[in-house]
Structure 1
């Protein structure tokens, strides 16, 4: 299994029941040389509920000012920031990088937990992605659900990033593909947090 695949696979499931579509395609690697990818969480029949974050995101992570705004544009900027953090974590996996993903997520976000576990697995195996897992997202649009909740639509483009071992040898590879995506973000304790991801 390739690595950012765990995030994409879980993203297919994390908002099941929120938009009625949990059938997005799951990328598959072009080789099976590596087997350290984390297992995919099983789907739930009910939508995720907002939960308390594992720690204060603003206390330990430098979130850009644009992504700290409690507004439509702030929610959009936060989703971009979240995927920037995901890319950074897959390029340089570590316990700290895995923890950072949890710090900007709620406990209810299963795709976030899967991505964090996957980053931990890469770190333990001494592996990393050679290039960013996901391309930049030009089409991010937020829709207000409540004063503290926004639903953000965008196109998630997974790249054909190679997985390298400690010596720089290619041991796996992602399959490049794009799909419409939804993110649920919540405003808690003065900052945004990722609450779920799903195919649009």
Structure 2
């Protein structure tokens, strides 16, 4: 597989569409407008639900450790970490009362990670949520050697359509279905994986 990674990517994940695409519908439930969101796209195989993607339960103020499978410097470990990252993103959309800190798993300069965290922060502020994990990582594959300074994984990210809740009650708003090709850049630092950036392919 050939790497198509480019610098200055404008976007990140399908999850941004969860708020960007739910404009209009109900008067009572006005969705927030996240900044920096763009397009998305793509098909299915799960980012949450597989043993390698699950983490220990989270409590407020804690950052869950990635599962053991995601802490190994090999292809399976890198992919397991990718799935773990999106399982945390899913958790932030399902349980904004105990939001994850995605930046705990990212380089401090990762702009797309900051935008992903902003989506979760807007869910928290608006008391929005969804009932089930929406994002799925499909067909991930390394585009670079796992020993490279910057490890690129190309994959497809899908998001299923579902009702958007506010204050625990269903609204007329929905998260739209979406699907698209994505690339994520990881690096191995201090014996763990870290996200450097995400981009649309």
TM-score under structure 1 length normalisation: 0.70
Q: Is the Cα contact below 8 Å between 2:92 and 2:99 reproduced in 1?
A: yes
Q: Is the Cα contact below 8 Å between 2:22 and 2:31 reproduced in 1?
A: no
Match of 1:7 in 2: none
Superimposed CA distance per residue, residues 144-175 of structure 1 (whole angstroms, 9 cap, x where no aligned partner): 35533210011110211321011412152222
Cα deviation, residue 88, structure 1: 1.0
Match of 1:127 in 2: 128
Match of 1:75 in 2: 78
Report the CA distance shift for 1:171/1:117 in structure 2 as closer, same or farther (over 3 A).
farther
Q: Say which of 89, 92, 96 aligns to 1:89.
A: 92
Give unmatched runs, 5+ long, in structure 2: 39-61
Q: How many Å separate the matches in 2 of 1:29 and 1:38?
A: 10
Structure 1 residues 84-93 or 107-116, which shifts more? 107-116
Q: Is the Cα contact below 8 Å between 1:140 and 1:152 reproduced in 2?
A: yes
Report the CA distance shift for 1:60/1:166 in structure 2 as closer, same or farther (over 3 A).
closer
Where does structure 1 differ by over 4 angstroms across 4 or more consecutive aligned residues? 24-28
Cα deviation, residue 196, structure 1: 1.0
Q: How many Å separate the matches in 2 of 1:174 and 1:39?
A: 17
Which structure has more helix as a fraction of its residues? 1
Aligned residue runs from structure 1 range 98-177, under 5 A: 98-99=100-101, 101-135=102-136, 137-144=137-144, 147-177=148-178
Match of 1:35 in 2: 31
Q: Say which of 13, 17, 23 aligns to 2:7.
A: 17
TM-score under structure 2 length normalisation: 0.70
Cα deviation, residue 107, structure 1: 1.5
Q: How many Å separate the matches in 2 of 1:114 and 1:178?
A: 19
SS at 1:115 equivalent: helix
Count of aligned pairs: 165
